[in-house]
Amino acid sequence: MKRYSRKIGSLLKKHEDKLLISSAIFVFVIFSLIILPLVLITIVNNEDIPDVEHLSIDIPIKVYLHKTGGTVTLDLEEYVAGVVAGEMPSSFEFEALKAQAVAARTYALSKVVRGEKFGNSADHPEAPLCDGTHCQVYRSEQELLELKGRDWIKNSWPKIKDAVATTMGEVMFYEGELVEQPLYHSSSGGKTENSEDVFVSSIPYLRSVESKYEDEAPHQSESISISFNTFKEKVQNTYGASSISPNNIKILKRSEGGRVEQIQVGNKVLTGRNIRELFNLRSANFTFAFDGNDNIVFTTRGFGHGVGMSQWGANGMAQAGYNYKEILKHYYTGVTIKQIN
Ligand SMILES: [Zn+2]
């Protein structure tokens, strides 16, 4: 009887094992046939840029405030007005302000949508946007009052709000997808840059184009003088370059827009951006010379990274009679401007 029951026990055990194996196979089949494809489809879909249909001006804009470390949630159009005021002088042409409004709105929405899909920037995980140059400068009406005064609020603020209102809900698309990187800068120095020559990736709408109307831009050509010893020490300490002498500094390569791509300094090849950041130059579009007093003198053209819309160029185009759509299409190659819901 004991033996018999042991046999039954071992049969039952075998049966359980079989059950276990078949359940495992069942789970595996379900996983590979149903769950895995679903996961893959979701991942692939997430690579896509937001569905145009779901974009709306009702999307709330959460902004991280550097001063307080808190966040504020704003209406999109209210946010855009605060960015135009923060990023462009109100004295600029109306069409230039409108172009800035569309660029700022496009940037905001693309950050919100991307934040939802992939998480916000590590610099401010609590919000897709911040109020500083890291994203785009935003100023509340209260801040504008404190910064610019009552007269400005009375005379200039309405002009900016009008520029925003006349482009309400308008954003840029490229081949049916929301433009993700509507970058802009102060002035280009005559020609803007291909995105890959300044940053990493090649973005089809960020191509080098002429920027002919920058005559009124400040910092068009600016020189700064640095003692050669300081120059040498900083480059040595930051980039580990050695044997630096006036004879072995040489610009090796320039980008299409004129920025220094490669510069030989002693035994190292650096980028113009390296030099720009190290010495706070206005732009990486520079030449250099020695003044005979142990100084190296950098002369820069333009102000900023040079990619996308030149704000002073936009103002110049507006003065020359171009409208905001023509301005945007000039600086962002191949885009269309559409109004969202
Ligand atoms: Zn930011």
SS (H, E, C) 182-248: CCEECECCCECECHHHHCCCCCCCCCCCECCCCCCCCCCEEEEEEEHHHHHHHHHHHHCCCCCCHHH
**How does DSSP classify residue 303?**
B
Compute, in angstroms, the gap from residue 120 CA to the centroid of ligand 1: 9
Q: How far is the CA of 38 from the centre of ligand 1 (A)?
A: 33
**Distance of CA 159 from the midpoint of ligand 1 (Å):** 26
Cα 108 to ligand 1 centre (Å): 11
Lowest average pLDDT, out of 81-85, 292-296, 327-331, goes to 292-296
pLDDT for 126-179, tens place per residue? 999 999 999 999 999 999 999 999 999 999 999 999 999 999 999 999 999 999
> Ligand 1 centre and the CA of 64: distance in Å?
8
Global pTM value:
0.79
| Centroid of ligand 1 to alpha carbon of 121 (angstroms) | 7
Predicted local confidence at residue 52, as pLDDT: 61
- For residues 31-56, average pLDDT: 53
Ligand 1 center from residue 70 Cα (angstroms): 13
What residue spans define the domains of the chain? 54-181+313-339, 221-301
Q: Please, which residues bridge with residue 26 across strands? A: none
| Banded model confidence at residue 31, pLDDT cuts 50, 70, 90 | low
Q: Could you give the maximum distance between any two Cα atoms of the chain, in Å?
A: 111
Quote the ligand 1 centre to 134 CA distance (angstroms): 4
In angstroms, what is the span from residue 115 Cα to ligand 1's centroid?
Answer: 12
CA 283, CA 275: separation in Å to the nearest integer? Answer: 9
| Residue of 171, 132, 185 whose CA lies nearest to 314 | 185
Count of Cβ atoms closer than 10 Å to residue 223 Cβ: 13
Q: What is the pLDDT of residue 203?
A: 97
Q: At 219, is the pLDDT very low, low, confident or very high (cuts 50, 70, 90)?
A: confident
